[in-house]
């Protein structure tokens, strides 16, 4: 029996609006726009054209929907409506916690739009995020380890809700295999709301934004809106992808978790790793030993080709293999030959696989040894 994503009750599931119904009544342009769910590893997947603000998800119970969520919608409506319409104003510290919680709740709800199957594959936000927010429902406080900001948007989108998984990257260490946090971005009319939540508390770092947006949570005094630089469309995708976060710790960086922003992940198949190629129709294979090498900080380049025919130059990186170039076989072979580094031949039951060890670049070179 399906249960409520937030409280786990098996009561009647009512269908919660991803964006509160009040948004359809404040005079925003209601021209249908392509909905994108911002599914975790297919950012901005289109869900088809539907009337905005009408999209519902089915995994929220009536008690949640009409209780604590509805209270948050009430605060959001009162506080945010003028900004959505571009009217200047202020947010008092007493409202900042509820508005931040509303952002978190809205991002979590939007991620429920991803199909059940996608989420079983690990592509949604963890179920514990929903339960933790429910546990705090009467506190008007977002989850611990979160920060939120508010700004002005001056692009052409009328709305967007996105969540992007983030990796906390410590200088010199390989990228982790799981995200340790996520970014939340909500655009509504002229308003942009941005948030960050660390799901691994030990990796939490203090963060500011490149746009220097006023901080909504934790509260730091009354906020005037608008202030600072507006966000424009050129910057929007990077911003929603978490690229605007600036860690205040020198050796710690926050980045989009890379598997989330790239194509289908590789799969291990009998001693070989299957790598879908960017043509979208084929796969190529490389030896598993290159993955073991990558965990030891040793990376390789190799050329390969699919049946299109199309040739590819592939590099292994801490998070897997990545296509660096796609071209004719001649052009790829030239690129490969031009790479510095020693060539290795790996022999196994499939034949001989040739690759070149890449010289390490980036932070790993700057002093600290990679364990």
Residue 70 CB, nearest distance to Zn ion (Å)? Answer: 12
According to the binding rule CB under 5 A, does residue 317 interact with Zn ion? yes
Pick 23 or 133: Cβ nearer Zn ion: 133
Cβ–Cβ under 8 Å, residues 148 and 103: yes
Residue 336 CB, nearest distance to Zn ion (Å)? Answer: 18
Residue 228 CB, nearest distance to Zn ion (Å)? Answer: 32
According to the binding rule CB under 5 A, does residue 71 interact with Zn ion? no
Residue span binding Zn ion (CB under 5 A) among the ranges 74-82, 246-254, 280-288, 355-363:
280-288
Longest CA pairwise span in the chain (Å)? 69
Q: Which of 13, 43, 57, 61 binds Zn ion (CB under 5 A)?
A: 61
Could you give phi then psi for residue 79, rounded to 5 degrees? -80, -40
Cβ–Cβ under 8 Å, residues 224 and 87: no
What DSSP state is assigned to residue 371?
-
Q: Which of 23, 28, 64, 188 binds Zn ion (CB under 5 A)?
A: 64
Q: Which of 306, 326, 358, 364 binds Zn ion (CB under 5 A)?
A: 306
Contact set for Zn ion, span 192-211 (CB under 5 A): none
Pick 37 or 314: Cβ nearer Zn ion: 314
According to the binding rule CB under 5 A, does residue 327 interact with Zn ion? no
Residue 105: name the closest of 13, 199, 195 by CA. Answer: 195
Q: To 5 degrees, how large is the angle CA 356–CA 362–CA 366?
A: 115
Residues 6+ apart with CB under 8 A from 364: 172, 297, 370
Q: Which of 47, 235, 279, 364 binds Zn ion (CB under 5 A)?
A: 279
Q: Which of 45, 228, 255, 258 binds Zn ion (CB under 5 A)?
A: 258
Kindly determine how many residues on this chain lie close enough to bind Zn ion according to the rule CB under 5 A.
Answer: 13
Cβ–Cβ under 8 Å, residues 300 and 339: no
Residue span binding Zn ion (CB under 5 A) among the ranges 208-216, 232-240, 263-271, 310-318:
310-318
Residue 174 CB, nearest distance to Zn ion (Å)? Answer: 11
Residue span binding Zn ion (CB under 5 A) among the ranges 149-157, 242-250, 264-272, 305-313:
305-313
Q: Parallel, antiparallel, or unpaired for β 267-269 and 272-276? A: antiparallel
Write the CA distances from 234 to 153, 154, 156, 186, 240, integer angstroms.
11, 11, 11, 16, 11
- How buried is residue 101: exposed, middle or buried, by Cβ count under 10 Å (0-12/13-18/19+)? buried
Positions that interact with Zn ion (CB under 5 A): 4, 6-7, 61, 64, 258, 279, 281-282, 306, 308, 317, 322
């Amino acid at each position: 029996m399906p249960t409520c994503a937030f409280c786990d009750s098996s009561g009647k599931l009512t269908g919660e609006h991803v964006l509160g119904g009040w948004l359809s009544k404040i005079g925003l342009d209601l021209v249908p726009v392509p909905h994108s769910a911002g599914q975790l590893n297919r950012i901005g997947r289109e869900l088809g054209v539907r009337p905005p603000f009408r999209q519902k998800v089915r995994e929220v119970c009536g008690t949640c929907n009409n209780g604590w969520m509805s209270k948050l919608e009430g605060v959001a409506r009162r506080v945010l409506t003028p900004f959505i319409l571009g009217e200047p104003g202020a947010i008092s510290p007493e409202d900042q916690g509820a508005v931040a919680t509303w952002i978190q709740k809205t991002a979590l709800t939007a991620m429920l739009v991803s199909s059940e199957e996608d989420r079983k594959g690990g592509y949604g936000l963890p179920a514990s995020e929903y339960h933790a927010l429910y546990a705090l429902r009467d506190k008007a406080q977002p989850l611990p380890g979160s920060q939120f900001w508010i700004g002005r948007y001056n692009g052409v989108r009328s709305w967007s809700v996105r969540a992007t998984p983030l990796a906390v990257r410590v200088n010199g260490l390989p990228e982790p295999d799981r995200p340790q946090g996520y970014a939340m971005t909500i655009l509504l009319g002229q308003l942009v709301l941005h948030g960050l939540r660390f799901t691994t508390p030990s990796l939490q770092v203090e963060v500011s934004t490149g746009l220097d947006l006023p901080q909504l949570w934790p509260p730091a005094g009354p906020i005037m809106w608008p202030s600072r630089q507006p966000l424009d469309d050129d910057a929007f995708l990077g911003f929603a992808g978490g690229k605007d976060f600036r860690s205040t710790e020198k050796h710690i960086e926050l980045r989009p978790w890379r598997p989330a922003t790239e194509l289908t992940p590789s799969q291990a198949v009998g001693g070989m790793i299957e790598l879908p190629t960017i043509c979208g129709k084929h796969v190529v294979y490389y030896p598993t030993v290159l993955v073991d090498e990558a965990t030891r900080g040793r990376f390789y380049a190799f050329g390969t080709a699919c049946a299109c025919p199309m040739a590819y130059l592939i590099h292994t990186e801490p998070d897997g293999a990545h296509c660096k170039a796609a071209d004719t076989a001649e052009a790829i072979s030239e690129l490969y030959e031009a790479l510095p580094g020693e060539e290795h031949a790996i022999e196994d039951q499939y034949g001989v696989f040739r690759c070149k060890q890449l010289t390490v670049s980036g932070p790993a070179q700057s002093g600290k040894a990679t364990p």
